[in-house]
A and B are shown apart, each in its own frame.
Chain A
C-alpha cells in the first residue's frame, strides 16, 4: 500500500508538473514587428510658379476707318463687297455724277469766258497804253483800262480756281481707298442717297490685328505695357500666336466695370479673322512657391498639412502649411516648407505623425 501510495503521489506530481511546464511554454512570444512600409517621397524646392490668367476676347483690326463721300449724292455704283481687299487708289464706289459734271462744264465755260474777258481787257489796256503813249487817251482811261484788265485777270484766276474746284468736286463722286485693307462693312447700296461723310465702306487694316479684352478691375493692376500675351483661338486651340500689350484704357466701362486692353498681334495667323473669339493668357508672377503633388496634402486640426520625413530619425513630422492655390494635380505651397525638405507624396491618409518609415528606393 505504501508503495502504491507513493507511486500515486509521484504520478500525480509529475502530471501537475507537466501541466505547469506546458503552461509556461505557452507564453505568448510576441510575433516580430512588421517591417516599416516604404513611402514615396520627393525633395521639394522653391520655384517661381506664375499664375496664368486667361480671358476671352476677340480680334479687331488695328485701324478701321469708315469711308464716305465728301458730297451728297446718289450712289450710282459700288465696286466692292464685304471682304474685298483694297489698295490705295482703288475706287470703291461712285455717285451719280451728272450734277458735278454739269458744274464742271459750267466752270469750264466760266473759265473760257473769263479768259476771253481777260483777253479783251488786255487788248483794251494795250490800246489805251498806246493811246496814252501817244497822249491821246487820258491817264484816267489808262488806269481804268488797267484796272479792268487786272480785274479780268483776276476773274480768270477765279474762274480757273472755280474750275479746279469743280474738277475736285467731280472727283468726290468717286470714293477711293486711301490705305490698303479689307472692306469689313458696306453702308450704302446703289440708288441710295447718301450724305457727305456717311459711311459707305468700312475698311480695316488687313495685316495689323489686335486682340481686344475687357479686363476686370481686380486684375488690371497686373497689366503692364509691353507685357507678352499668348493668344489662341477658342475654336481651334492649336492656332496660337504671341502678342504684346499695347494699350490699356484709362477709364473703365461704366456698366461692366472692366477696362479695354488692346494687344498687338504682329504675326497673327490667317485663321485669326476679325471677330474670332480668342483666349488670351498672361502669366503673373506670384512669388516663389513649393510645388507638391495634390496627393501629398492632408490635414492637421482642420488646416492643411504635409508629412515631412525627418532625415535623422526617419520619422514623420506632420507639418502645417499655407496653400497658395491648387492647379491640376498639384498644390502650390506658400509657406510651411523649406527647400530641400523631403515630403511624402502617397498614402498620407494612412500615415501618422512620429511613425518610422522607410524610403521607397529610387526607380
Chain B
C-alpha cells in the first residue's frame, strides 16, 4: 500500500520551499502573530460600522413673510439651484412662515469619499444665488456635519442657581473638555439665552400721546456704539470716550425720557425685566427636571474606548468640584455601550473558536487537530493586520463577519492536513507529504476560496447605504479567507511537519460505523438516481413556494435597552404646549421602576447619540425622550405601558415609542408620500389614503406629516384711509409685531455676551386675541387711531408648514406595524388597493412608497445589480478549475438547493428574512459550490486513473465525505454562537439550515447526478 514519493518536481512548490527555509518561515510566523496582536489592540472599536450620512441641511429665514411667499420665492429658488448638485437623489424641504429648510439627500450609491466635496458644491451654489434672494433674507445657513455623533452626554441640573450661573459654569467645563485629546465638538444643549424685555402697554402709551418709536429711538441712541474720536497731539494721542452704554437692566430702569417738555422715567411707561429667552429655544430636561446638557463628540481619529475613559475621568474630577446644588448626570455613554457590545462579540468569537477547535479535534484526532488549532491564531492575526490596513474597525458587522469566517477558514488548513495525513498513512515522509499537499490541493483550494469570496461579492460592491453598512462583512471575509489560504500553504505544512507523527496507521475510508452508514445511504441514492434527483427537485419547488411565505425585513430593531419616544403635536402648536405634553410623559416615566434614566428634548429631536439615528430637526411642535430601561425585557414592558397611555391620555399628540434601529435610519416603517400641486387637495387625498391604510388590521397609528392648519387673523387695511391718517401697512405690521412677537431694539454688552433688549407688549395684552381687534396704533404725531378705523379683520386658516419633495408639495402618510408583523408584508397586501387608489387620482397627483420598504428595495436592488458580476466571477473560476461546461453547470446547479434548508430553518419559527439574511443566503451559494467542486474534482481524478464511472463516484464520495462533512459542520457549528444575536440570528439560521441540507444533498444527489451525467457521456463515447 505504500507508494514511493515521486521525484522532486521542477515547478515552484511553496510548501516545500517553506519546509526548506524553516527559520525564515518561523520568523514570518512570529512577525505575523505580533503584528496581529498589535493591530487588535489598535483597531477602532464601535458599536455600528461607520457609514456616511448623505444628507445636508440648508436653512434660510425671511422674517415676516407668509408661508406662501417663503415657499415660492425662497424655497423654490434654492431648490431650483440645488437640483444641479452632483449625485443628488432628491430634495426634501419644509417651509414655515419666514423659515425655509432644504435637505439635500444624495444617492445611496454615492462614493463616500465624494460626499465632502459635494457639500462644498452645495455651499458654492447656494452662495451664488444668495444675491438674488429677496431683501430681508437672513442666511443661508448650512449644516453639513449632520452625521456627527455625540456619544457622551452629560446633564446638569441646578437647584438654587440661576440659569445664568449654570451656563457660566458649563462654559468653563466646556473649555476644559476641549483640551481632552481626540475631542471633536462639545455642544451645549438646552441653553436659553437671556433677554431683557421692555414691556409696554399700547393702551397706556396711547393715552400719554407717545409714540413707542420715540422711546425706542431714545434707548437705541443712548446705547449706540459710536466713535468719539481721538485727539492727535504732536507727540501722543489722547482717546475720547463718551459714556452712556447700558450695562444691565438697572441702567435701563434708571433712564428718564424728555417728552413733550415733560420728564418721564422710563419705568413709568414700560416694565423692564431680565428673563430667559421667551419663546424658549429648544429645551433639555433630565429625569424630569429642567437641565442644561453637554454633548461631546469624538474626532474621527480617536479610539472610542480610550476617549470615553479620558472624558469620564475628566468629568469626575470636574464633578468633585461642583458646588452643592449643581448635579451632573451621565445621560448617554457610548463608551460603555461599545465596550459591552464588543466584549459580547468577542465572547461569542471565543465560543465559536472553541466550537471549531472541538470539531477539528473530534474529527481529525489529536495531532491533526492540533495543527488546525495552531493555524487559527495565525489566520486571525493576519486578518487583524489586514483589517487595520484596510481601515475596518471592530464593530457589530466586522465581528460577526469574523465569526462567520471562522467556520470557513479552517477549511483550508483541514484540507492541507488531510492531504498530508493521507500521504503519511501511505508511508511518505513529511516533506514529500507537504509537497504533495501543495501540488494537489493548493490551486483547487485557492479556487474554492475565491468562489466562497465571490459569494460575498454582492455585499462588497452593493452601492447603497445598506451595502455600505454591511461592507465590512465582505472585507473581513476576503481578508480572512485569503489569509487562511496563505497560512494553509505556507505555515501549516511546517506546523504539520513538527506535530504530525512520522508514520501514521493507514485508515481506510469507509471503515467504522459512520462509514458503513454512509455507504448504505450512498448505495440507495445511486441505485435510483432518477428518484433521488426527482425528490430533490420536488423539495426545491416546495421550498420556492414556502419562500413566498417567509416575511421580509430590512434590519431588525436594536437590542439596546434604550427606547426613543417621540411626541408630535399639531403643526401650529407652541413650544409651551409641547413642553406641557413632555412633562405629562415624564410624569408617567418618573415612577416607573423599569426606567433607569431618561432625558427629554423639547422643541427639537434628540441629538444624534448613535450613528444610525433618524434625527428630527428643530421644530416647536416636537419633543423626544430617550428612555434608558434597566433591561431588554424592561424596555418592552415600558413600551407596552406607554402605548396604552398614549391611546388614552394624549389625544392631541402623535406619539411613538420605538426601540433604536439597526442599519441605515428609517423612522416610521410604513410611509406613503402623496404629492401634487395643490396642498389642500393633497391633504384631502392623504386623508383618504390614511383611511385606506387604517382599513388593514395590522396597521397602527396612522398620521400625517403636514396638512393640519394654523389659525390666522388677516388684517385687510384700507390703504386710502390709512394714508389719510398718516399710517401705512408697514406701521400696522410693525406695531402688531412689536406687541405680539417683540422686536429687538438694542443689545446690552455684558462681559463677553450680548444680551438682547426686546420690546414687546405686556403679557396680558400679548396673550389676548381681543388686543388685535381693539388695538390703537399711535402715529408719528402721537395720536392714537383704532385699528378698526382703517382695517377689517377676517379670521381664517393657513398652512403652518409645507413639505416639498423635488419641488412638489408632499404630505406623507405614516404608520406603524402591529407587533410581529413586518412592514413588507403589510405593504404587499395593500399594494393592489393603493394602486387602484392612485389610478383614480387626477393628473399631477401621485402616491409613492417610502419607509422601510423603500429602503429595503434600494438595498435589494443594489445587491441584485451585483449578482451578474458574482455569477460571472464564479463561472470563470469554475471553468478555470474544472475545464468543462458540464461540470461547471453541475456545480452551479447545486447552489439553489440551499434554499430548501433556508426555508426549513426560517419558516416554522416565523423568522423574517432580513437584509443580512439575504446576504447570507447569497453567500451560501459559494459555500455549496465549493463543496460540490471538491467532489467533482475527485471523481474526475479517479476516472482519469482508470476507474469505472460508478466506482469513481463511490470512491470519491467516500473519500471526500469526511472533509466535506468536516467543513460543513465547522461552518454550521461555528454559526451557533451568533444565532442568538438579533442582528445575525436570521442569517445564522438560514446558513445553518441551508448548508446542512445542501451537504446532505452534495453527498447523495450530486453523486447520483454525476453518475447519470458521466454514464451518459461514457455511453456516448462507447457508441462512437
Contact = CB atoms under 8 A, between A and B. Distances in A.
A and B part of one assembly = yes
Contact of B789 (A58, A218, A325): A218
B527 interface: yes
A126 to B, nearest CB: 76
B13 interface: no
Given A258-B789, A300-B684, A16 B539 contact: yes
Contact of B697 (A31, A346, A347, A350): A31
Task: State the main secondary structure of chain A at its contact with B.
Answer: mixed
Interface in A197-246: 215-219, 234-235
B683 A299 contact: yes
B206 interface: yes
A326 interface: yes
Interface residues of B, number: 79
Contacts of B690: 352
A54 B698 contact: no
B818 to A, nearest CB: 5
Interface stretch (B160-168, B463-471, B543-551, B605-613): B543-551
B591 interface: no
Given A23-B549, A235-B204, A354 B691 contact: yes
Given A5-B531, A39-B651, A23 B907 contact: yes
Interface in A274-319: 277, 279, 294-295, 297-304, 318
A134 interface: no
A294 B776 CA distance: 26
Contact of B543 (A19, A31, A299): A19
Given A8-B524, A53-B773, A56-B206, A299 B652 contact: no
A51 to B, nearest CB: 8
A20 interface: yes
Interface in A321-358: 323-328, 331, 346-350, 352-355
A98 interface: no
A346 B652 contact: yes
A89 interface: no
A112 interface: no
Nearest to A13: B535
B702 interface: yes
B339 interface: no
Contact of A279 (B203, B545, B551): B203
B703 A31 contact: no
Nearest to A345: B651
A304 to B, nearest CB: 5
A327 B549 contact: no
Nearest to B764: A237
Contact of B571 (A55, A218, A297, A349): A349
Interface string B524-565: 100110010001001100110110010100000000000000
A326 B797 contact: no
A162 B23 CA distance: 156
A218 B718 CA distance: 12
B248 interface: no
Contacts of B783: 255-256
Given A31-B698, A299-B680, A353-B687, A257 B789 contact: yes
A62 B1007 CA distance: 122
B273 interface: no
A324 B684 CA distance: 24
B272 to A, nearest CB: 17
Contact of B204 (A9, A16, A277, A323): A277
Contact of A16 (B206, B542, B684): B542
A3 to B, nearest CB: 11
Contacts, number: 189
Contacts of B796: 304, 323
Contacts of A297: 709, 711, 797
B657 interface: no
Interface string B743-772: 000000000000000000000000111100
A40 interface: yes
Contact of A32 (B204, B696, B697): B697
Contacts of B786: 55, 215-216, 219, 258
Contacts of A234: 201, 203-204, 207
A251 interface: no
B911 to A, nearest CB: 11
A349 B203 contact: no
A37 interface: yes
Nearest to B776: A56
Interface string A47-77: 0000111111010000000000000000000
B180 interface: no
Interface in B188-210: 201, 203-204, 206-207
Given A39-B651, A279-B203, A299-B708, A352 B549 contact: no
Contacts of B703: 349-350
B652 A12 contact: no
A276 to B, nearest CB: 9
B180 to A, nearest CB: 45
A33 B725 contact: no
Contacts of A352: 687-688, 690-691, 694, 702
Given A23-B546, A39-B651, A234-B201, 18 more contacts: A8-B531, A16-B542, A19-B904, A22-B904, A56-B203, A56-B207, A216-B789, A257-B721, A257-B724, A277-B204, A277-B206, A297-B709, A298-B709, A299-B680, A301-B683, A302-B680, A327-B770, A349-B707
Q: Which 9 A-B pairs have the closest CB atoms?
A: A277-B207, A216-B789, A302-B680, A349-B708, A346-B651, A299-B709, A33-B697, A347-B651, A349-B570
Interface of B: 201, 203-204, 206-207, 520, 524, 527-528, 531, 535, 538-539, 542-543, 545-546, 549, 551, 570-571, 647-648, 651-654, 680-681, 683-684, 687-688, 690-691, 694, 696-698, 700, 702-704, 707-709, 711, 713, 721, 724-725, 767-770, 773-774, 776, 783-786, 788-789, 792-793, 795-797, 818-821, 825, 903-904, 907-908, 910
14 contacts: A16-B542, A23-B546, A31-B697, A31-B819, A38-B647, A53-B773, A54-B770, A54-B774, A256-B725, A256-B785, A323-B796, A346-B651, A348-B570, A352-B688
Interface of A: 1, 4-5, 8-9, 12, 15-16, 19-20, 22-23, 25-28, 30-34, 37-40, 51-56, 58, 215-219, 234-235, 255-258, 277, 279, 294-295, 297-304, 318, 323-328, 331, 346-350, 352-355
